[in-house]
Amino acid sequence: MTCRDDILAVARELSAAHPSGTFSVQGVLEVLRARQTPYSDADIRRHISTFMCANAVGSHAAQFQDLERVSRGLYKLL
């Protein structure tokens, strides 16, 4: 599995458990650490905030439009 695959799996679990369907970066990090992910915190954060986020800005932003940032550190699946 890729970092993106792992993040999406955890995001689905966390968003299903939250009434608003949102999840936090910290929540994803905690679950992936507990599962002993080979990916660093920085890689996970970068994927969530840049590569996977539809409303991210920058040269590598929104390569995959999997997530939407709804507030600081809080995201939802698209």
Asked whether the beta carbons of 60 and 51 are under 8 A apart, the reply is yes
User: pTM here?
Assistant: 0.94
- Structure confidence by residue, pLDDT tens digits, 29-73: 999 999 999 999 999 999 999 999 999 988 888 899 999 999 999
Range of the domain at 56: 3-77
Per-residue confidence (pLDDT) for residue 73, from 0 to 100: 92
Q: For 12-34, what is the mean pLDDT?
A: 98
Per-residue confidence (pLDDT) for residue 62, from 0 to 100: 81
> How many distinct structural domains can be found in the chain?
1
Per-residue confidence (pLDDT) for residue 49, from 0 to 100: 95
Is 90 exceeded by the pLDDT of residue 4? Answer: yes
